[in-house]
Structure 1
């Protein structure tokens, strides 16, 4: 029996850690999810994720060669830290990449933000395949985009490309630091809509609740109109700057796509010289995990290419 190499993908989120094992084509062989439990500390969360990965490997790929590991996380990962992850206490100080490399000694590892990993999945297997350029828009607890160009996901000089949650909202914000103004993510995100909705509707609600109530309740409709209008403005400006073939949307709020899409479509058609396609992502809910698996596939492929080059296979 031939045992083919496998890869591991890990998606570290604020509430859960998802792990997948797949073959080198990206076909999933097994998936496992564990709670993050941020109250127990960042290192404990990392250890739970690594343990889940080892257990899943033993369960679905016993004895098979591990060829690559991909890891996605909230924030921007480096070997010695994670930037822009204030919602998970201690996560920023975690030597994220180094812990993964220590856990999988000798195995190539690739890191990415959860949104960029999601874009990688859409580029490799989903709705961004063949798009140059394209935009992946994540409408979840937070807000970010990823830009696809030249067959790759653009990282940026510091890995922070696409962090539009920090965008200025008006000319009055110019020359004002993020800590002294209301950044875009504080008004256009699932968490923001939940907070604002709970205050203005007078009872605890989720972002999904607000969109559902907007169908019949004028006060909720005002909230979603404000949300859609501001999101549309920033998406239009991005489309004007990048001239994308297509914009694909993922994240938890795609559940309210019928309330969001018409407003975005109308805004793009009205203002963008060459309006792009707009559609839901192929992997709208679990794209970061699929993307982490894609990163593992890329890590394995790069290692095999380097090995072939070293042995003269390309001579």
Structure 2
């Protein structure tokens, strides 16, 4: 009996874990999503994600051969750790790659950052197709970008290209280490907006709540104005440096795109010598999962078909 090969894609984010099973053409056979539950610990979150992946595989492809596993994660993954993952306590100390490989012994595994996987998905099948260069901006629990040029996602010497969450916020930050200053991600991100909003509005709120409240409440509108101004400043500077054809935005905060887009558009038009196009990602909420599936197909040694996402 011939067992049809399939691949697994896993996306570990700050608030959710997404899993999908696909065939070698990229067609999705099934998927599931669960809360990250960071409060329960990083190792528990990783374990729950791996268990969900095995369960999904048994459910939608019980008699098929697992040919490859692709994993996208916040931060920069290595076999023995994850670098630059401050929004998820304990995630950086996980022997990430080793634990994933142990969960699927003998199966080829490919690891990648969530934002770069998302950018790769948008570059091949989405809103960055044909853009040289282009920028993918992720507005989620954290903040990061990915730069695409010459048909590829720029990785950087250490896999950290586009990690603008560590940007200096003013001249006063020069010569000061990240641990001694307030990095950009701690001010401009979904988690930052939730933390600041809850403190200044006097009750627990999510980032989405802050944007909703900003439509009618001046105190919340002040928060979103601060968010827009600082995000726009850094995005404008990046656009000046890269001169992109298009900036594509994904992540959970695009649910408030009608409020975010006009402010970014206004800033880009005012300051960038050649203002780029600005658009929502084709896969606004699950581009990292689509990218993880692509990593799984690459691990299996197959070429992902364009028709899968036509």
Q: Same fold (TM over 0.5)?
A: yes
Question: What is the alpha-carbon distance in structure 2 between the residues aligned to residue 37 and residue 258 of structure 1?
Answer: 29
**Residue equivalent to 1:72:** 72
TM-score of the two chains, using structure 1 as the length reference: 0.90
Question: What is the alpha-carbon distance in structure 2 between the residues aligned to residue 245 and residue 89 of structure 1?
Answer: 36
Contact map agreement 2:31 2:56 (CA 8 A) in 1:
yes
**Residue equivalent to 1:311:** none
The Cα shift of 1:39 comes to 4.5
Q: In the alignment, is residue 207 of structure 1 matched against residue 188 of structure 2?
A: no
Contact map agreement 2:24 2:302 (CA 8 A) in 1:
no
Identify if the C-alpha distance between structure 1 residues 192 and 41 changes in structure 2 by more than 3 Å, giving closer, same or farther: closer
CA-to-partner distance for each residue in 1:93-136, whole Å, 9 max, x for gaps? 22211222233233321111111121122122211112111111
Question: What is the alpha-carbon distance in structure 2 between the residues aligned to residue 41 and residue 226 of structure 1?
Answer: 32
Which consecutive residues of structure 2, in runs of 5 or more, have no partner in the other structure? Answer: 305-310
Question: What is the alpha-carbon distance in structure 2 between the residues aligned to residue 24 and residue 89 of structure 1?
Answer: 35
**Residue equivalent to 2:140:** 140
The Cα shift of 1:36 comes to 3.4
Identify if the C-alpha distance between structure 1 residues 230 and 199 changes in structure 2 by more than 3 Å, giving closer, same or farther: same
Aligned positions of 1:131-170 closer than 5 A: 131-170=131-170
Identify if the C-alpha distance between structure 1 residues 12 and 124 changes in structure 2 by more than 3 Å, giving closer, same or farther: same
The Cα shift of 1:40 comes to 4.3
Contact map agreement 1:228 1:260 (CA 8 A) in 2:
yes
CA-to-partner distance for each residue in 1:129-169, whole Å, 9 max, x for gaps? 12111111011111111111122211111111111111001
CA-to-partner distance for each residue in 1:244-285, whole Å, 9 max, x for gaps? 111110111111111111111111111112211100011111
Q: Give 3-state SS (helix, strand or coil) of 2:110's partner.
A: strand
Question: What is the alpha-carbon distance in structure 1 between the residues aligned to residue 302 and residue 26 of structure 2?
Answer: 15
**Residue equivalent to 2:112:** 112
Question: What is the alpha-carbon distance in structure 2 between the residues aligned to residue 236 and residue 149 of structure 1?
Answer: 18
Contact map agreement 1:108 1:303 (CA 8 A) in 2:
no
Q: Give 3-state SS (helix, strand or coil) of 1:176's partner.
A: coil
Structure possessing the higher radius of gyration over alpha carbons: 1
Aligned positions of 1:152-231 closer than 5 A: 152-231=152-231
Contact map agreement 2:24 2:303 (CA 8 A) in 1:
no
Identify if the C-alpha distance between structure 1 residues 56 and 228 changes in structure 2 by more than 3 Å, giving closer, same or farther: same
Contact map agreement 2:15 2:141 (CA 8 A) in 1:
no
Contact map agreement 1:236 1:271 (CA 8 A) in 2:
yes
Question: What is the alpha-carbon distance in structure 2 between the residues aligned to residue 299 and residue 5 of structure 1?
Answer: 12
The Cα shift of 1:303 comes to 9.2
Identify if the C-alpha distance between structure 1 residues 280 and 33 changes in structure 2 by more than 3 Å, giving closer, same or farther: same
Question: RMSD of aligned C-alpha atoms?
Answer: 2.0
Which consecutive residues of structure 1, in runs of 5 or more, have no partner in the other structure? Answer: 305-315
- Which deviates the most, 281-290 or 292-301? 292-301
After the TM superposition, which segments of 4 or more aligned residues of structure 1 sit over 4 Å from their partners?
none
Aligned positions of 1:115-126 closer than 5 A: 115-126=115-126
- Which deviates the most, 87-96 or 222-231? 87-96
Contact map agreement 1:6 1:65 (CA 8 A) in 2:
yes
The Cα shift of 1:3 comes to 5.2
The alignment covers a number of residue pairs equal to 304
Aligned positions of 1:9-158 closer than 5 A: 9-158=9-158
Identify if the C-alpha distance between structure 1 residues 162 and 3 changes in structure 2 by more than 3 Å, giving closer, same or farther: same
